[in-house]
Amino acid sequence: MNQQNESAEPRATSNTESASQASAPPPAANSPEQQGGDSGKRRVGRRAGRSATREEILNAARPMFAERGFAGTSIRAIAREAKVDPALVMHYFGDKEGLFRSALELPVNPREILSKVIEGDREKLPERIITTFLAVWEGPVTGEAMQAIVRRVFGEPDSFNLVRDFMGELIIESLSPALKDVPEEEARARISLVVSQMLGFVLGRYVVGLDSLQRMTHEEIVTYLEPTLRRYLLADLGDIDTSAGEHS
């Protein structure tokens, strides 16, 4: 519909409406209405359109995450770049992780999923990691989006490094409680091996598309991967020096 034609049409105004408009007080000097004229100022009031505001924040966040990494990017810096109050960023995304997930368009909350993986018998942990992984990456609701994201990320070095660092630390942090009876550095080494194993599987099955991996059923994947993850997580690695290279 042509908005100019619509606004040009005369409209009858009732006496009640005219009186209401006449008696309405002018905006206060520091009101959001008057501040809105200065585009250089941070806007703390209601913005014109929820989706537009949310997209402005995401547009500010994506290059900052790519340049500075997850740990080096703050909510305040993103808010300053988007010219909004930090509270508005928190309102839309909850926290920095929520903003990061939205910037990547992740269809799941990896922290919530990982918290469920470590519940239960530790002897079953390797199998739970694999079955949960497959449920997310090949599920009817999340699978298509996850595979599209990983194909895009592997083609963008900055995005790949960002996701690798964020997810690597998140997985180590989330799975470490299951290995609380081993030294911290040893636990990090074990979990890092699990991450590398699953990353290789992602590359082969979803990005490169190796025929033998693509043909595997979920049961076959568990059969092949479970012993390897079990060895990484639960085998006796106490005699391995995980500090190698620290003093080189």
Which phi and psi (to 5°) does residue 243 adopt? -95, 5
Instruction: Say whether both 92 and 116 belong to one domain.
Output: no
Per the DSSP assignment, residues forming a β-bridge with 84 are 43
Instruction: Say whether both 156 and 188 belong to one domain.
Output: yes
Top pLDDT among 93 and 45 is at 93
For the stretch 27-77, pLDDT in tens is 444 444 444 444 444 444 444 467 789 999 999 998 898 888 888 999 999
Instruction: Say whether both 96 and 115 belong to one domain.
Output: no
Q: Domain of 48: which CATH number?
A: 1.10.10.60
**Structure confidence at residue 162 (pLDDT):** 84
For the stretch 129-165, pLDDT in tens is 999 999 999 999 999 999 999 998 888 887 888 888 8
Number of domain units in the chain: 2
Does residue 3 lie in a domain region? no
Q: Point out the domain boundary residue: 67, 87, 104.
A: 104
Q: Structural domain of residue 211, as residue ranges?
A: 110-234
Instruction: Say whether both 140 and 99 belong to one domain.
Output: no
C-alpha span between 99 and 93 (Å, rounded): 5
Choose the weakest-confidence range: 10-14, 184-188, 201-205: 10-14
For the stretch 178-201, pLDDT in tens is 999 999 999 999 999 999 999 999
Instruction: Say whether both 91 and 142 belong to one domain.
Output: no
Which phi and psi (to 5°) does residue 211 adopt? -60, -45
Tokens of 125: 């942990």
Question: In this structure, how many other beta carbons lie within 10 angstroms of the beta carbon of residue 65?
Answer: 23
**Structure confidence at residue 49 (pLDDT):** 61
Instruction: Say whether both 74 and 159 belong to one domain.
Output: no
C-alpha span between 27 and 33 (Å, rounded): 7
Instruction: Specify whether the backbone of 49 is left (phi greater than 0), alpha (psi in -120 to 50) or beta.
Output: left
Q: What global pTM score does this model have?
A: 0.68
Instruction: Say whether both 205 and 168 belong to one domain.
Output: yes
Instruction: Say whether both 148 and 179 belong to one domain.
Output: yes
Does residue 74 lie in a domain region? yes
**Structure confidence at residue 80 (pLDDT):** 96
Instruction: Say whether both 121 and 220 belong to one domain.
Output: yes
Instruction: Say whether both 124 and 211 belong to one domain.
Output: yes
